[in-house]
Structure 1
Amino acid sequence: MTGAAVPPPPQVWPTLRARDARSLIAFLVEAFGFEATAVYADGDRVMHAELAWPPGGGVMLGSAKDPAEGGQDPWPLRPGAFGAYVVTDDPDGLFRRAVGAGAEVTAEPHDTDYGSRDFAVRDPEGNHWSFGTYRGEPRRP
Structure 2
Amino acid sequence: MTIALQYCHITVNDVDEALGFYRDALGLDVRNDVASDGFRWVTLGSAAQPNLEIVLSEPHAGRSKADGDALQELLIKGVLPMTVFSTDDVDATFERVRASGADVLQEPHDQAYGPRDCAFRDPSGNMVRIQSAVSGSR
Percent of paired sites with the same residue: 27
Determine the structure 1 residue equivalent to 2:21. 27
2:58 to 63, 67, 74: 63
Structure number with larger C-alpha Rg: 1
Residues 133/38 of structure 1: CA separation in 2 closer, same or farther (3 Å cut): same
Using the TM superposition, give the Cα deviation of residue 53 of structure 1 relative to its aligned residue in structure 2, in angstroms.
2.9
Higher helix share: 2
Relative to structure 1, is the Cα distance of residues 124 and 71 closer, same or farther in structure 2, using a 3 angstrom cutoff? closer
Consecutive unaligned residues of structure 2, counting only runs of 5 or more, are none
Matches within 5 A, 1:22-101: 22-41=16-35, 45-46=39-40, 48-56=41-49, 57-65=52-60, 71=65, 73=67, 77-78=71-72, 79=75, 80=78, 81-101=80-100
Aligned residues: 127
Give the TM-score, by structure 1 length.
Answer: 0.74
Contact 2:25 2:100 in 1 (8 A): yes
Q: Deviations over 1:65-101 (max 9, x none)?
A: 28xxx75658x64435241111110111110010011
| Structure 1 position 115, deviation (Å) | 3.0
Farther-moved stretch of structure 1 (19-28 vs 97-106): 19-28
Go from structure 1 to structure 2 and tell me whether the alpha carbon gap of 1:34 and 1:133 turns closer, same or farther (over 3 Å shift): same
SS at match of 2:129: strand
Give me the CA root mean square deviation.
Answer: 2.9
Q: For residues 85 and 95 of structure 1, do their structure 2 counterparts lie closer, same or farther at Cα, with a shift above 3 Å needed? A: same
**More strand by percentage:** 2
For residues 106 and 84 of structure 1, the distance between their equivalents in structure 2, rounded to whole angstroms, comes to 14
Counterpart residue identity of residue 51, structure 1:
L
Shift of 1:19: 1.6
What is the TM-score of this pair, normalised by structure 2?
0.75
Secondary structure of the residue that 2:94 maps to in structure 1?
helix
Structure 1 regions of 5+ residues with no counterpart?
1-8
Aligned-residue offset at 1:20:
0.8
- Hey, what's the Cα distance between the residues in 1 that align with 2:136 and 2:112? 14
CA distance in 2, matches of 1:102, 1:89: 22
Q: Secondary structure at the match of 1:24?
A: helix
Moved more, 94-103 or 114-123: 114-123
